[in-house]
């Protein structure tokens, strides 16, 4: 009898959250360094990064909160959102260069 080798949803969610948190720390470090070069000091850079991060959390929770609870595959949507965030983060150095 063959055993089912599918990973349970809780393990998938745990892996996604671990990778997401690690990526967020990398984004924060890179953006803080970039914003320090733009603003010339760490205090305004920290404020800008924090405002963008908290604004993104608030808007994301507001927009996706109900939609994901009603969706049949919320983990798939979450994974796709993380990929979209990674792609937009990859574009951020070019956008920050334009601001400078």
pLDDT in tens, 43-58: 988 998 889 889 988 9
Asked whether the predicted pLDDT for residue 59 surpasses 90, the reply is: yes
pLDDT digits (tens, 9 = 90+) for 69-83: 888 888 888 888 888
Contact between 30 and 45 (Cβ < 8 Å): no
More confident residue, 66 or 1: 66
Q: Which residue has the higher pLDDT, 21 or 99?
A: 21
Average pLDDT over residues 86-99: 83
d(CA 30, CA 77): 26
Angstrom distance (rounded) from CA 55 to CA 12: 27
Residue indicated by tokens 């809780």 = 10
Confidence of residue 1 (pLDDT cuts 50, 70, 90): very low
Domain ranges of the chain: 29-99
- Nearest residue to 13 (alpha-carbon basis) of 61, 68, 79: 79
Q: Residue 1: helix, strand or coil by DSSP?
A: coil
Closest CA to 45 of 30, 33, 55: 33
Task: Tell the residue number behind the tokens 């720390």, with chain if given.
Answer: 25
């Amino acid at each position: 009898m063959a055993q089912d080798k599918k990973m349970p949803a809780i393990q998938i969610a745990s892996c996604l959250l671990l990778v997401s948190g690690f990526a967020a720390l990398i984004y924060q470090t890179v953006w803080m360094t970039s914003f320090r070069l733009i603003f010339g000091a760490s205090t305004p850079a920290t404020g800008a990064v924090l405002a963008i991060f908290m604004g993104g959390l608030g808007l994301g929770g507001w927009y996706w909160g109900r939609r994901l609870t009603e969706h049949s595959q919320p983990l798939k949507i979450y994974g796709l959102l993380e990929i979209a965030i990674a792609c937009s983060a990859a574009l951020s150095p070019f956008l920050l260069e334009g601001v400078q």
